Amino acid sequence: VYKRQGVYNPDSSVFNSFVIANTNSSGSVAGFSIKIHHKIFSSLAQIIVYRFLASASGDFSFKNEWKTIPEHKLSYAVTFNPFDSFSLWAKLTVLSPVIWSYFPRLKELSKDFYGNNLEERFILDFSIRKWFWSNRLRFNLLFKNLLNNKLQHHPLGAKFNLSVFFSAEIVFNSIID
C-alpha cells in the first residue's frame, strides 16, 4: 500500500508527485465472482461474468487503496461463428466508480482538468476475425471502446479513446498434418 502526496502546478498543468511505501498497512479483501457460459446455437455463444471485490477489514491506508479498484465489474460477451473461418465478437463491460482519496483537492487545484474519482465506465469492444489458407493465416480487426466513452484507470492517467487494432497471425504448426 502506498501513500501518495504531490503538488499540482496549474501554470504548467503538471502534477509532481512522490510515492512513499507504507509497509505498516494491512487488511483483507473479500469477494466472489460468477461466470455463466451459454451456447444459444452451435454458432452463437454468450458469456456473462460478474465480480465483486471489496475491502473487508484493514487500516485507513489499506481501505483507501482498495477504493481505487472497482468493487463491481460486469461483462457480457457474445461470439458469433457462422463459419469455421469467420467470427464476430462483442463485449460490454461495466465498471463501478472509484475514489482516489490521495488527491482530495485535485479537481479544484487543476480547475476541473483532473478529478479525484472515476465515474462508472461502460466499455464496448468489437472484433472481426477471419481465417484463410486452411486456418493457417488469421486476420483480426479489433475496436476497443467503440462508444468512445471516457475510459481511464487512474485520474492522472491516460484517457483511452476509441482504438483500432489490426493483427495478422501465421500458424506454422497447422502446416504439417
| pLDDT 10s digits, 4-32 | 445 555 565 665 554 555 567 788 889 99
70, burial (CB in 10 Å: exposed 0-12, middle 13-18, buried 19+): buried
Give the residue carrying C-alpha cell 504548467.
12
- Please determine, for residue 2, whether its predicted confidence score (pLDDT) is greater than 60: no
Return the closest-CA partner of residue 27 out of 71, 60, 73.
60
Closest listed residue to residue 162, CA positions, set 125, 127, 128 = 125
pTM here?
A: 0.77
Dump pLDDT digits (tens) for 157-168.
788 899 999 999
- Cβ of 124: how many Cβ atoms within 10 Å? 16
